[in-house]
Amino acid sequence: GRKMKLSIIVPVYNVEKYLAQCLDSLVGQTVEDYEIIVVNDGSPDNSQRIIDDYAARYPGLIVPMIKKNGGLSSARNLGMTVAKGEFIGFVDSDDWIDETMYEKMLEAIERENADIAYCDMEDYYDDGTVVYHDVTNFTDPLMVTCSACNKLFRRSLIGDAQFPVGLWYEDLSFVTKLLFKTDRIAVIHEPFYRCHCRAGSIMNSVASKKNLDIITVIDDLEKTAQQFGKEGKIEYLVLSHILLTGINRVAAGEKSADRTELIKTMREYAQKKLPKLTQSESFRSESTKRRVIMFLNYHGLESVSQFILKTKAKMR
């Protein structure tokens, strides 16, 4: 098949309300030579009618695919199997993007001969609030959002990397693997990517066993880290995603046997990975506030860290 410049992969599930706005922003891109691969992941609503309509109006630009429901990862992976682009972008079907996003991201990635490009993001809430996320000011790309959507990836960097099917943290897994393989990143300090923030997002399920998927993901990432001499980065992932946000999220939920067990599993994993917490370089480079919460969670005192977080103590 003919190579092209860019493939945009859009997984679709139960988003009929937002899909047209998403696709409008994609068919209107100012970039040349691209395709939009729209993967209907067994959506039970009217999404397919909307996809058919766009495919009829934009033949050759929209590449429609239908599969039985298997989740975000499986839909994106399927899209990658047919993508012809030298570069790959991912857009979620309840989001939309600036019409110049991919033209400008491509310019930057090619000018700097980079493997990945980042842009900033904006969250749009139902009440009209808009929150700007500056994710292009970083010393280490692991420390800003791991979303796959505000990025553009060189296909040759992706290689055979896939999103892990059936796991939470699929973006963290996919993006971090690629960040272990390259440090050539172009950034554009513009909020090209726009998210609809809806109540009841997937990651809000507090006491779910799926919280432990982070352990599976980090264990898997460790193999890639070792391959590319990035073992030190695993410490940061354990600190940030397990000791801090993972335990905090579960601890914020209702008391239950499940909750206690989940926290214990996460704490013991963190203790195994970081047997001497206060001697860890990653730990030492954290802010005081984050260190305090991590220290408490590490020692099984997550109720104290919850208290501190709730009272938003002004700690210097």
pLDDT tens digits for 11-30?
A: 999 999 999 999 999 999 99
Number of neighbours of residue 187 by Cβ within 10 angstroms:
20
pLDDT (tens digit per residue) in 65-88: 999 999 999 999 999 999 999 999
Provide the 3-class DSSP secondary structure of residue 105.
Answer: helix
Q: Answer whether residue 61 shows pLDDT above 60.
A: yes
Q: Read off the DSSP letter of residue 203.
A: G
89-98, 104-113, 205-214, range with the lowest pLDDT: 205-214
Is 55:64 a contact under the CB 8 Å cutoff? yes
Q: What is the pLDDT of residue 264?
A: 96
Confidence of residue 316 (pLDDT cuts 50, 70, 90): very low
Kindly report the pTM of this predicted structure.
0.93
Q: Which residues contact 227 (CB under 8 A, 6 or more apart)?
A: 180
Number of alpha helices (DSSP H) and beta strands (DSSP E) in the chain: 13, 9
Q: Answer whether residue 314 shows pLDDT above 90.
A: no
Residue type, 36: I
